[in-house]
Amino acid sequence: MTARRSADPAWWQTGVVYQVYPRSFADANGDGVGDLAGIIQHLDHLADGTADSLGVDAIWLSPIYPSPDFDFGYDVADYVGVDPKFGTLADFDRLVEACHGRGIKVILDLVLNHSSHLHPWFESSRASRTGPHADWYIWRDSPGRTKAGRRRPPNNWRGFFGGPAWTWDEGRGQFYLHTFLPQQPDLNWRSTGARAAILDVVRTWLGRGADGFRLDVFNTFLKDAALRSNPRRPGGRGWGAQVHLHDRNQPELVGALAELRAVVDERPGRMTVGELFDGSAADAAAYAAPGHLVFDFGWLGLPWSAAAFREAILRRDAAFGPTVWPANVLSNHDQPRHAGRFDLLPGGEPSLGDARAKVAATLLLTQRGTPFLYYGEEIAMRDLVIPNAQAFDPQARRSSPRAPAWNRDQARGPMPWRGGHGGGFSGGVPWLPLPPDHEVRNVERQASDPDSVLSLYRRLLSLRRATPALVRGTQELVDVDDPEVLAYRRAADGRSALVALNFASRPAHIRLPVPAPGGPWRIALATHPRQGRDALGEALGEGIGETAILAPLEALIAYD
Ligand code: GLC
């Protein structure tokens, strides 16, 4: 980030982004699969300009393009169409118009590392070594046969979902590369023709009104030109058995990103957010640029521990510094949902409470950076329980005792809008079962409960909007004399906000820093009832002195 003045931050910095997994958000036509018309019907939930909605600034749609669904949309068979199961291009236009009418930006998921094996580009590429698409994918001869007579692949690279990253194609008489499934052949970013076609896809969607793009696994776009084998990592299994030195993060990536970003930057106000595949906070910061965020996934693997978060935040702040803007995330369609992840007590038993989800929400929505919410987290939705044997998810289906994998279907359950048959998600049979607690955990019910997780999300979003320090302020961790309380101060325009999060299931006596002008801190939000109200009967404004007591798992925001 360079040019922008602090008085003039862009929407991708100030805003909150909400990830919609279209299959599971809302099904308008009753076929059991969510669709674009369903999303349009539920825009009031996302932003209707009143306190009765979340008030998000943008939605990110997981892939909506025609796909044979070997990897549920992340295998694209037509980059510029809409899959009939989700609707039509006209529905997409309606969705963009409806979103823009409410001030919601629309971010599309671009899967540009690989296409589907059924994409016409790949069908043409595999058909001929000399045709127009011959070099659009990464083809190599076999260097020979093993003693057992099998064709040896060009190098030792592994596919992320298991097995080798190379598949032999009988027709072309060569191997092709796929970082993921054999049904997801990697595009060749070194091919001028392929790269031009990719940039055209970006232009097409910009022209159709997309405000930005999430870039799927962007750091794998370029591979080592000589396709050298990766070094082994002793003790690792599957994908983890190698150091991924040559199949991602190549120096040529920087130029390719610059080209793609230049196309996006032709339209002021458009942005990208990159999915860093298997990388550190330092990598995320290094690839970010003004208008081009990169997810920092550093919080996804953390246990419920103030110390672990403190360390991750220090690492992240050191990597991003005061100018690079982070993109913060606790849940997405690839990971166990955080409400369940954090809810486990020692011994692995769920506590079944939402108090930790509330603390986590306060963290996500008050840390420096752009928060990305995953549909359902606003009601603290939990994962489904679906054994790998019944999985749709290719990662789980290919799981083996030697390389076990988590079933991602579990984080992709239908959104429970209300109780009753279909939960307001679908009038038909949902493609995945509704969460078993959907009669009690649903949007309608939480909307009428001031102490619900949903009410807290709404309050947090509205407080953010009204508090510049929380949106664009500097950030500094604060020691409050209790290792189980994570506290930090955000400051902008001479005003501060203090956030204190009690990770412990016991009360915490904390010592507060002196607020800037010397006056007392005033409580703006507390997740537990206090004298001046809230939980979330609101009001407050209650002053607190140099010390305060936090209730077990209480989150508190104060201002000076
Ligand atoms: C990304 C997506 C994931 C997909 C993979 C391959 O990690 O988030 O869902 O399976 O890329 O496209």
Q: What is the pLDDT of residue 401?
A: 82
Residue nearest to atom 6 of ligand 1 (CA): 74
Work out the angle between the directed axes of helices 355-366 and 453-466 (0-180°, nearest 10): 20
For 557, other C-beta atoms within 10 Å of its C-beta total 26
Per-residue pLDDT of the chain (560 residues; tens, 9 = 90+): 334 444 468 999 999 999 999 999 999 999 999 999 999 999 999 998 888 999 999 999 999 999 999 999 999 999 999 999 999 999 999 999 999 999 999 999 999 999 999 999 999 999 999 999 999 999 999 999 999 999 999 999 999 999 999 999 999 999 999 999 999 999 999 999 999 999 999 999 999 999 999 999 999 999 999 999 999 999 988 899 999 999 999 999 999 999 999 999 999 999 999 999 988 999 999 999 999 999 999 999 999 999 999 999 999 999 999 999 999 999 999 999 999 999 877 676 777 789 999 999 999 999 999 999 999 999 999 999 999 999 999 999 999 887 889 999 999 999 999 999 999 999 999 999 999 999 999 999 999 999 999 999 999 999 999 999 999 999 999 999 999 999 999 999 999 999 999 999 999 999 998 875 667 889 999 999 876 665 554 556 667 878 889 999 999 999 98
Residue nearest to atom 7 of ligand 1 (CA): 217
Residue nearest to atom 5 of ligand 1 (CA): 74
Ligand 1 center–CA 554 separation, angstroms: 35
Q: Which atom of ligand 1 is nearest to the CA of 75?
A: 12
d(CA 229, CA 325): 34
d(CA 77, CA 397): 22
Q: What is the pLDDT of residue 426?
A: 98
Q: ∠ CA(282), CA(288), CA(289), 5° rounding? A: 140
Residue nearest to atom 12 of ligand 1 (CA): 74
Could you give phi then psi for residue 61, rounded to 5 degrees? Answer: -95, 120
Q: 412 with 423: CB under 8 angstroms?
A: no
Ligand 1 center–CA 160 separation, angstroms: 10
* Ligand 1 pocket residues where CB is under 6 Å: 71, 74, 111, 180, 216-217, 275, 333-334
Pocket test for ligand 1, best of 116, 334, 397 (most atoms within 8 A of CB): 334
d(CA 231, CA 246): 9
Closest C-alpha to 249, from 289, 212, 213, 280: 280
Pocket test for ligand 1, best of 23, 60, 69, 71 (most atoms within 8 A of CB): 71
Q: Which atom of ligand 1 is nearest to the CA of 114?
A: 12
Ligand 1 center–CA 372 separation, angstroms: 17
Q: Which atom of ligand 1 is nearest to the CA of 179?
A: 6
For 547, other C-beta atoms within 10 Å of its C-beta total 11
Residue nearest to atom 9 of ligand 1 (CA): 334
Residue nearest to atom 4 of ligand 1 (CA): 74
Residue with tokens 């537990």: 528
Q: Which atom of ligand 1 is nearest to the CA of 71?
A: 10
d(CA 223, CA 322): 32
For 419, other C-beta atoms within 10 Å of its C-beta total 15
Strand partners for 139: 176
Q: Which residues contact 262 (CB under 8 A, 6 or more apart)?
A: none
Ligand 1 center–CA 73 separation, angstroms: 9
Q: What is the pLDDT of residue 514?
A: 80
Q: Which residues contact 438 (CB under 8 A, 6 or more apart)?
A: 416, 419, 423
Q: What is the pLDDT of residue 532?
A: 62
Q: Which atom of ligand 1 is nearest to the CA of 334?
A: 9
Ligand 1 center–CA 217 separation, angstroms: 7
Annotated catalytic sites, by residue? Answer: 216, 266
Ligand 1 center–CA 111 separation, angstroms: 8
CA 322 vs CA 340, 465, 470, 492: distances in Å: 32, 21, 15, 13
Q: What is the pLDDT of residue 545?
A: 76
Pocket test for ligand 1, best of 70, 180, 395 (most atoms within 8 A of CB): 180
Ligand 1 center–CA 216 separation, angstroms: 6
Q: 512 with 548: CB under 8 angstroms?
A: yes
Instruction: Compute and round to an integer the Cα radius of gyration of the chain.
Output: 24
